Amino acid sequence: MRAPAAFVLALVTAGCGASRSDLEERALAPLGKRAEAFDAGADGLEGLERESYYWLLWRSARRHAVDGSQADVVDVTAIGPGFLRRRVEQAREARRWPWAPVDQDAWLRGVLMYRVATEELSDWHAEFAADRQVRSDLEALAAGWDADREGTLRAVIHRLNSGVVAARTAPRQRGLPDMSPGDCLAEGGGRQTDLAIASICLLRTWGVPAILLRAPVLAGEPGGDVWIGILGTDWWIRPGDDAPLDDAYFRYRRSGPLLPKVFACADRNEFGHLLAARNSLSFKTAYNFILIPAADLTGTLPGTARVVLPAEWKSPVFLSTWSAGGWLEVAPGIPDGRGATDFGPCTAADLLYMPTVPGPRGIPAPAGDPFLLAPDGTRTLLTPRDGAVSWEWNPPADAPAARPHLWKDAVWVPCVVEPVDGKSTARGAPGALYLVIRPGPENGGIGKFFGRPFTLDPDGRHIPH
């Protein structure tokens, strides 16, 4: 192992009598009467360790902030100075491993941070660091660091993610809240997010900088497909992956229909804010909601095609697709200065997209015509054409008042439903996008949606999207 020489390279030099840094001021500002006790908790810490303490304090008081301007106090109400001090001292131990990151941002976000998502606070470092067999195995691997750094780091990650998490857990259905890392291992598994939390905390214990990644998917766990990103690399790993140690283990592998944008974030609350609030299109936020390990991998995902629509919308506007009974915002639109809006690389495979803007209560509201995106980037607009197409109509059993609507002139228009030959028959236009809606207060007054949007073939058969 190496000595923690990197601590000498401090960006903030503070001590008794020294003026406060901007970070210290910002961390203490919202704490009121508790500020003095937390400030005293940093006594004796210098350089990077002192900065680490106040960075954790700043994060603990602002976990739910969207853009850094809010100050919703959450974790800081449940912890004390000793909790942060202990985490700084544990990180000092993790820093001794040769693969621990030198980059400050990777260190703070990928190793020092005490929380991954919304799991219960626990002393996971002490629990994992007490595993003598893992420590012995990693010390043996560390001996080969100078000879093969990449190979050693891969072996370390595989030993922890496969040899510990995969060996002791399995994915299983369960509800929220997120499990603590120790409980996940003790109970033999949980949701994919639970496995990811356990693996990330295990990696952080031994100095490997790891963050939570989510690639939104059309179906599966709410919040998206869960991955682990290794900061400082372009490696992606599945939590608890027991596959053999090879190149594929560290690669984003397509596992179903993907939505366009890959969002890398520090916890689920930030991910939720990114999808719902969307109040900073530049993503220059306090927490870097978009945090890609090495590069913008969205351009290299399978089947990606850039989407630039020949219309310029005022911000905020997003490209959305259908997921879990509503529109899911998946790519921010940026005016390109030439009368168009650039949504960046999007995953194709004939997925349905619609430009949207935030509507009532943050619900995405359609702002433009829907389209299907082909693998070559061409778009098929789903707008009504001349003519008529009919089909037998049977409303949902629990919503007899629901009826099919078609998208026309920027609104959902109810289709004509009438009896034909003793059967209830719906009539619409070819080429249009349809959705079954029951009038009501849901979705900003549009009503409740049923099923997936669909198009019709010439014979009236439904093609879901």
Residue 332 burial (CB count, 10 A): 22
In whole angstroms, give the CA distance from residue 65 to residue 334: 23
Query: pLDDT confidence of 351, banded at 50, 70, 90?
Result: confident
Would you say 206 and 218 are in contact if contact means Cβ atoms under 8 Å apart? no
Q: What angle do CA 309, 310, 313 make, to 5 degrees?
A: 75
Q: Given a cut of 90, is residue 237 above it in pLDDT?
A: no
The H or E element spanning position 81 is helix 81-94
The token pair at 317 is 């506007």
pLDDT greater at residue 90 or residue 288: 90
Q: Would you give the DSSP letter of residue 343?
A: E
In the prediction, which pLDDT does 111 show? 94
Q: How many CA atoms lie within 13 A of 190 on its CB side?
A: 22
Query: pLDDT confidence of 298, banded at 50, 70, 90?
Result: very low
Would you say 315 and 279 are in contact if contact means Cβ atoms under 8 Å apart? no
Would you say 92 and 49 are in contact if contact means Cβ atoms under 8 Å apart? yes
In the prediction, which pLDDT does 305 show? 72
Kindly report which listed range (61-65, 145-149, 280-284) carries the lowest average pLDDT score: 280-284
For residues 152-165, average pLDDT: 97
In the prediction, which pLDDT does 414 show? 94
The H or E element spanning position 203 is helix 192-205
In the prediction, which pLDDT does 304 show? 63
Query: pLDDT confidence of 267, banded at 50, 70, 90?
Result: very low
The token pair at 435 is 């959705």
- Please state the domain extents for the chain: 1-96, 101-259, 268-381, 389-464
Look over the chain and give the mean of its residue pLDDT values, rounded to a whole number: 79
Say if residue 463 is exposed, middle or buried (CB neighbours under 10 Å; 0-12, 13-18, 19+): exposed
For residues 19-35, average pLDDT: 89
In the prediction, which pLDDT does 274 show? 44
For residues 235-243, average pLDDT: 88
Would you say 14 and 53 are in contact if contact means Cβ atoms under 8 Å apart? no
Handedness of CA 165, 168, 171, 177 (dihedral sign): negative
Q: % helix / strand / coil in the chain, to the nearest 5? A: 30, 25, 45
Q: Given a cut of 50, is residue 381 above it in pLDDT?
A: yes
Report in angstroms the alpha-carbon separations of 171 from 3, 188, 193, 237: 38, 9, 9, 15
Most confident region among 146-155, 211-220, 253-262, 449-458 by mean pLDDT: 146-155
In the prediction, which pLDDT does 120 show? 83
Write the pLDDT tens digit of every residue in 420-462: 998 999 999 999 999 999 999 888 788 899 988 999 988 888 9
pLDDT greater at residue 400 or residue 287: 400
Q: Given a cut of 70, is residue 216 above it in pLDDT?
A: no
Domain formed by 101-259, architecture:
Roll (3.10)
In the prediction, which pLDDT does 442 show? 84
Range 235-239 contact pairs with CB under 8 angstroms and sequence separation of 24 or more: 235/157, 235/293, 237/157, 237/161, 237/199, 239/161, 239/165, 239/192, 239/195, 239/196, 239/198, 239/199, 239/200
User: For every residue of 9-24, which 3-state class applies, written as one string?
Assistant: CCCCCCCCCCCCCHHH
Which residues lie below 8 Å from residue 280, measured CB to CB, with a gap of 6+?
Answer: 66, 67
For residues 116-133, average pLDDT: 91
Nearest to 438 by CA among 396, 381, 380, 410: 396
E-strand ranges in 315-410 read: 318-323, 326-332, 334-335, 341-347, 351-358, 364-366, 371-373, 379-381, 389-392, 403-408
For residues 287-304, average pLDDT: 37
In the prediction, which pLDDT does 347 show? 62
- Side chain identity at 160, as an amino acid letter? L
In whole angstroms, give the CA distance from residue 65 to residue 279: 11
In whole angstroms, give the CA distance from residue 416 to residue 391: 11
| Percent of the chain residues past pLDDT 70, beyond the cut | 77
Counted residue by residue, the chain has a size of: 465
Which residues lie below 8 Å from residue 268, measured CB to CB, with a gap of 6+?
Answer: 117, 118, 178, 193, 212, 223
Name the 3-class secondary structure at 249.
helix
In whole angstroms, give the CA distance from residue 5 to residue 2: 8
**Widest CA span in the chain:** 91
Kindly report which listed range (73-87, 128-142, 381-395) carries the lowest average pLDDT score: 73-87
For residues 52-73, average pLDDT: 62
Query: pLDDT confidence of 195, banded at 50, 70, 90?
Result: very high
Q: Given a cut of 80, is residue 226 above it in pLDDT?
A: no
In the prediction, which pLDDT does 238 show? 87
E-strand ranges in 374-421 read: 379-381, 389-392, 403-408, 411-414, 416-420
The token pair at 44 is 């004796």
In the prediction, which pLDDT does 66 show? 30
Write the pLDDT tens digit of every residue in 313-337: 877 888 888 866 778 777 778 888 8
Residue 74 burial (CB count, 10 A): 14
Nearest to 201 by CA among 125, 282, 298, 93: 125
